[in-house]
């Protein structure tokens, strides 16, 4: 679970695809825990209320919000805050990246 938190902190969570994958895995786990098969007509909200569990995506968004607030409270010269507000200038080269000595 820690790897998911780190991805959210860096902002690499693809909103639509990753959210759908996380939700699907979560509902599969909750159905098994509650004892329902996939053919039983129970919605995610019904199972969530029955098990009294908060959805993982809500926890992830809360964690991300808390992290952003934490970074905003930092002094301006701290690296996480500088990285958050960084905007690269210039252009990338066209084509395939050049091979480095370590890649050969």
* DSSP string across 9-41: HHT---HHHHHHHHHHHHHHHHHHHHT--TTS-
| pLDDT given for residue 13 in this prediction | 55
Residue 67 resides in a domain = yes
pTM of the model: 0.60
What's the token pair of residue 49?
């209320």
Residue 95 resides in a domain = no
Domain that includes residue 14, residue range: 2-84
**Contacts of residue 52, Cβ cutoff 8 Å, sequence gap at least 6:** none
Residue 72 resides in a domain = yes
Rounded to the nearest 10°, the torsion over CA 79, 82, 85, 89 is: -110
Closest to 13 (Cα-Cα) out of 69, 22, 30: 22
Residue 97 resides in a domain = no
Residue 84 CB neighbour total at 10 angstroms: 14
Residue 68 resides in a domain = yes
**The total number of structural domains that make up the chain:** 1
Residue 102 resides in a domain = no
Residue 2 pLDDT more than 50? no
Residue 91 resides in a domain = no
Query: Would you place residue 37 in the very low, low, confident or very high pLDDT band (cuts 50, 70, 90)?
Result: confident
Q: Euclidean distance between the first and final Cα of the chain, in Å? A: 35
Residue 65 resides in a domain = yes
What's the token pair of residue 27?
């509902």
Residue 73 pLDDT more than 70? yes
Residue 48 pLDDT more than 80? yes
What's the token pair of residue 5?
């938190």
């Amino acid at each position: 679970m820690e790897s998911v938190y780190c991805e959210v902190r860096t902002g690499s969570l693809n909103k639509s695809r990753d959210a759908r994958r996380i939700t699907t895995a979560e509902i599969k786990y909750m159905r098994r825990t509650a004892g329902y098969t996939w053919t039983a007509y129970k919605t995610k909200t019904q199972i969530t209320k029955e098990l009294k569990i908060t959805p993982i995506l809500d926890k992830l968004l809360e964690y991300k919000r808390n992290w952003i607030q934490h970074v905003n409270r930092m002094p301006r010269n701290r690296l996480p805050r500088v990285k958050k507000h960084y905007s690269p200038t210039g252009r990338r080269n066209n084509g395939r990246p050049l091979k480095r000595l370590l890649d050969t």
